[in-house]
Amino acid sequence: MMQPELTPLATAPQLPRPGVLGRALGGLFFVLALVVFGFGLYNAAHAAGVAGTSGTLTVERCWVKHGSRGSSDTTECGGTFRSDDGKVKDDQASVRADLKPGNKVSVQQAGDWYVQTGFGETTKWLAAFFLGWLVVAFGTAFAATGMFPRSGMHVALITRSISGTPAGRLRKWFVWGGLAGAGVCLLLTLAAWLAS
């Protein structure tokens, strides 16, 4: 009986060399995470009524805003905003929500836009804050090793290369904390939505 000829297995991809580009990529993820943290906390503070000018938006019209490539369409409603203290009136106010003309909704003025208030809205924005933790976790391996990935396989190898190290343990805490925090916040948002 003849033995089949053995063929060499494909060579495993090599890890990229550490360098400034990998650390810059890690830094970019940290900056992106700070933006996500700030955006989530800023809007959560307004939705909780801690920041901004509180008032009521009376809906006059709604429209569908078509998303760019890959993003979904959203419904926005506009009308007149009146602050609770009567000092601010804005006839061009709008909020991202699916409402009916004539509805009155509690909002907080947040700069040039308006955020709905309430428990469910607050937890929704806090979920975005926790998703920022996942962005940090993704960038940790690149910042720690200095390796710049050139393929999806490199991403997996670089991430695996830090397991068991202090950076790997930190990354794990960010992943689990981000998933748990976002999950709890989204469940609370869903519960608030179902209760209303």
Averaged pLDDT for residues 83-87: 88
Q: How far apart are CA 140 and CA 172, in angstroms?
A: 10
Of 3-12, 112-121, 134-143, which gets the smallest average pLDDT? 3-12
Handedness of CA 107, 109, 113, 119 (dihedral sign): negative
pLDDT in tens, 1-55: 556 565 555 555 677 788 899 999 999 999 999 999 999 999 999 999 899 889 9
Question: Three-class SS of residue 13?
Answer: coil
